[in-house]
Amino acid sequence: MNLSNIDLLDLPNEIILIILRKLNNIDVLYSLLDINNGRLDIFAQQKTFTNVLNFVNTDNISLIDRFCIYILPRIRHNIKYFILEPVFMERILLAAVYPNLTELKLFNFEQQIASKYFTDESSVRFVFQQQITSLILVNNDKSRRIGSLEEYTRNVYAHILNFFKNLTHLNIIGPYINLCPGLSLCGLPSTTFYSRILTHLCVMVETFDDCLYLLDGRLEQLATFNVNVYSIDRSSIIVHNTDRLPNLKCFSIKSYFQFQQYERIPSLLRRMPYLKHLTLYLCIEGRNRIIDGTCVQDDILVYMPQLHSFTFFISTYLDIRDLSLNLSRQHIQQTLINIGQQNAATIVNYLSIYTLECSIFSLPSAFDYLRHLGNTFPNIIFNYVTYLLVNDKDGFKHEFFVRIARSFPLLKYLRVFNIEPQVSAYMKLSSDHSQSYSMIEYPHLTSLDVNHGHEDYLEQFLNEAKAYMPCLTELKVHYHRLKTVTNNFTREETRRNCAKAKQLFFF
């Protein structure tokens, strides 16, 4: 056979399927259906390509038209899961009857979507009320725009739970960390956000009290609860239900802001003796003792005899002026080994002369957020981290950013906190000097914040001989530093990395 003349249809079925599975299923359906080839038509209609349909980031109107008119009616029995933008939602859901559709994910969800479509007058109400059992909302509302959080909770979050009659899985997330409104139940009736059938919930809450409200019995069948808490220290004098939670098998609590009331976490976890999977992301301050392996064992693990997996990232912030502690990384690491956490790591970082951060975390790292990373960190690939804040009392070298690019391959958002210079004071910022450095590529970086960094770090990123950032769309910077590094906005070497920037924030 002449290899240069091989056609796709000359390949065995197994090879064709391998090739097609590498492609977007929307592209497969759009390209192969109705091209007058029965073999390819059969391939395209397999459940592999029709179970889940993702129309996000699709602005091709002709593609949507063809799908709604010709393709969706043919594969409607196979479709179980739609991923949609609200602008196309009604059109796609009305294009056919989908008897097996049970899951829906909506991007760019806003309050007006709920008021327009999640009502008894909606043309697609039957799909929502009767068929959908699993709903994921990527909430695009901003807290500063919505007014009262209690009203938003009642009109959006609680309304959704009431409107979707058969909902067992509800997942509400933000497009970016801590941006969308947190659920706030303080002052609302105990029947607010109530369900007898919900088993899986992922949500952001305003305070730790709101987390406790959700566990007061109003969600009696809850088996999996993932919660992101904006504020743990804010609390009321209300005495919450302290009964055990026998149905809860998976629990995750994350709080990206530093808090002092650490004892509230162990107190809550002791209500979960049947827990099998636990995830913690905590940033604790105001203590005179590090949260190490011994502390984790005594405060948490000893009360969870049925725990199968423990995923954690726990940071302790200490004022070390009056402390005489063993702060060596080796000692802290040994406390993790002593409790059976061999697959764990430790980072000790001096944020200032008097402030130390100690982080202990399970491996492989499973979180998308990491803050206050300093010059010293282990050679680990953080495969899930998209948001990173770097901070140290000592200046960062160019090699530090080489390691950052290698250790954080999916990095999208980077903040640099460091007022110390990167290079010696007598070295000028020039294209000639930068030639001695290796160029670093950040293929996914979209947002860079160097407002709290020395101008050397702005040079580090904007100079195309030092860094390449093809996706940068947002830059946060001090105006005078930007003016200096770009030579009053005339320097060619700093132009390319800013070429796609759409938002510029001056401080």
- Lookup: tokens for 109: 């969800």
Is the pLDDT higher at 325 or at 418? Answer: 418
Please say if the pLDDT value at position 399 is more than 90: yes
- Residue positions counted in the chain: 507
Residues 6+ apart with CB under 8 A from 340: none
Please report which confidence band the pLDDT of residue 57 belongs to, taking 50, 70 and 90 as the band edges: confident
Q: What integer pLDDT is reported at residue 58 of this predicted model? A: 72
Residue 270 DSSP one-character state: T
Residues 6+ apart with CB under 8 A from 316: 284, 285, 287, 289, 290, 291, 357, 358, 359
At 437-465, the pLDDT tens digits run 689 999 999 999 999 999 999 999 999 99
Q: What integer pLDDT is reported at residue 321 of this predicted model? A: 78
Q: Categorise residue 187: left if φ over 0, alpha if ψ from -120 to 50, beta otherwise.
A: left
Q: What is the residue extent of each domain of the chain?
A: 386-507
- Distance (Å, rounded) from C-alpha 209 to C-alpha 32? 53
Residue 439 DSSP one-character state: P
Q: What integer pLDDT is reported at residue 385 of this predicted model? A: 96
- Mean pLDDT over residues 384-394, rounded? 95
**Checking DSSP bridges between strand 440-441 and strand 447-449, what pairing results, if any?**
unpaired
At 221-254, the pLDDT tens digits run 999 999 999 999 877 767 677 899 999 999 999 9
- Mean pLDDT over residues 36-48, rounded? 56
- Mean pLDDT over residues 328-349, rounded? 93
3-state secondary structure of 406: helix
Closest CA to 462 of 421, 429, 493: 493
Residues 6+ apart with CB under 8 A from 137: 105, 106, 109, 160, 171, 172, 173
- Distance (Å, rounded) from C-alpha 110 to C-alpha 160? 12
CB 109 within 8 A of CB 89: no
Residues 6+ apart with CB under 8 A from 497: 461, 462, 463, 464, 467, 468, 469, 472
User: What does the buried/exposed string (b/e) look like for 135-160 if buried means 16 or more CB atoms within 10 Å of the residue's CB?
Assistant: bbbbbbbebeebeebbebbbebbbbb
- Distance (Å, rounded) from C-alpha 437 to C-alpha 394? 20
Please report which confidence band the pLDDT of residue 64 belongs to, taking 50, 70 and 90 as the band edges: confident
- Distance (Å, rounded) from C-alpha 170 to C-alpha 163? 12
- Share the mean pLDDT of the chain: 87
Please report which confidence band the pLDDT of residue 37 belongs to, taking 50, 70 and 90 as the band edges: low
- Of all residues in the chain, what percent carry a pLDDT higher than 90? 68
- Distance (Å, rounded) from C-alpha 394 to C-alpha 421? 9
- Distance (Å, rounded) from C-alpha 161 to C-alpha 222? 13
Whether the bond into 305 is cis, omega within 30 of 0: no
Kindly write down the DSSP assignment for every residue of 356-394, as one continuous string: EEEEEEESS---SEEEEE-S---S---TT--EEEEE-SS
